[in-house]
Structures are given as structure tokens and as C-alpha cells.
Structure 1
Amino acid sequence: MVSVQLDEAQLKQICKKQIGDMLREYDAELVFWDAAELQRRTQMSWNTIQDYFFFDPRFPKRKLRGKWYFPARQARDFLEAWLDEQA
């Protein structure tokens, strides 16, 4: 018979690390977000995005041929900082 003992705290830490690594890998696949991806990532409508942070000069964005693009890594960093500021 086999008996296994697990340290729950260490198991949680390992799981969090693995999930974080997987999320970073997924995010690394996208270099740019378009408006639809920005809405999906923030769970906000386009009007709400414009009302809250779109016009913030720190928010990274580029318009190419009538379509908005957002550098994924920079946009995510901005959004995390912006959300912290809202508290």
C-alpha cells in the first residue's frame, strides 16, 4: 500500500507558479490587441473604455488605417497600474 502526504501550502504555491507561467506564455503569443481583444480582456464595452482610460496619455495605442492597436504587454501593465489607482 502506498501513502502520500502533501504540503497544501507548497502545492498551492506550485499551482500558482504553473498557472502564472501558462498565462505569461499565452500573453506572449499576442503582440498587439485590437479593440475587440481589449474589450474582451477588460470585460468593458468600448464606450466604458473610452470613458475610463482610453484618453489617458499613458495608455499605449496606435491607429493604423482606421483601426486601433494596443501593444499587449504595455497595455496590460498600464491596465494593472490604472486599476490599482482606482482604489
Structure 2
Amino acid sequence: MISVSIDEEVLLEIYREEVQKKLEAADKELVYWDTPELKRRVCMSWNTIQETFFHDPRFPKHKIGSKWYYPAKETEEFLLVWFEEQYLAGKKRRSLV
């Protein structure tokens, strides 16, 4: 009789790694994000986006017709810098108190 035993933790880790690879590949396929994709990526409402970074002159955006588009790579780079700036500004405010 043949018996097969599977370590569920190892199997789960392999599964996670493969899903992560697929997600990264899908991210690389997007050249532009639309507004729903931007909202999903930053986990913010449209109003919050407009109140915080949308009008920052460094934020890359293009309006085509009535719809906004955001170049994926440049937008991601901007957001990483912007979030770091917000974190450091908040840290500085806390140290002043």
C-alpha cells in the first residue's frame, strides 16, 4: 500500500508564494490605473484622495475625456514618497508635543 503525507504548512507556504507571483505579474501588466484602481490601491475614498494628494503638482495624472488616468509606475513611485512624507511629518508633530 502506498501512503502519501503532506505537510500542510509547507503546502500553504508554496501556495502563498505562487499567488504572490501571480499578483506581481498582474501588477506589472497595468500601464495606467483608473480612479477605482487608485482608490483600491491606496484604500482611500475619492474625497480623501482629493483632499490629500490629488492636487499635489507632483502627482501624475491625465484626464482623457471625463475620466482620470494615472500612469501606474509613476503613480506608485509618487505614493511611496508621499506616504513617507506624511509619516515623517506626523512623527515630527508628535515629537513637538
Considering only CA atoms, is the larger Rg found in Structure 1 or Structure 2? 2
SS for the counterpart of 2:53 is helix
State the one-letter code of the partner of 2:38: L
Which residue matches 1:43? 43
Which residue matches 2:68? 68
TM-score when scaled to structure 1? 0.73
Aligned residues with identical type, % of pairs: 53
Question: Higher relative contact order by CA 8 Å / sep ≥ 6: 1 or 2?
Answer: 1
Segments of 4+ in structure 1 off by > 2 A? Answer: 21-26
Residues of 2 paired with 1:44 and 1:25: CA distance?
24
Residues of 2 paired with 1:44 and 1:84: CA distance?
16
Residues of 2 paired with 1:59 and 1:23: CA distance?
25
SS for the counterpart of 2:69 is strand
Q: Size of the alignment, in residue pairs?
A: 72
Which residue matches 1:26? 26
TM-score when scaled to structure 2? 0.66
SS for the counterpart of 1:44 is coil
Query: Is there any run of 5+ residues in structure 1 with no aligned partner, and where?
Result: 1-14
State the one-letter code of the partner of 2:48: T
Deviations 1:49-69 (A, max 9, x none): 000000000000000011000
Which residue matches 1:53? 53
Residues of 2 paired with 1:63 and 1:39: CA distance?
16
Residues of 2 paired with 1:82 and 1:34: CA distance?
19
Deviations 1:23-67 (A, max 9, x none): 542221100000000000000000000000000000000000110
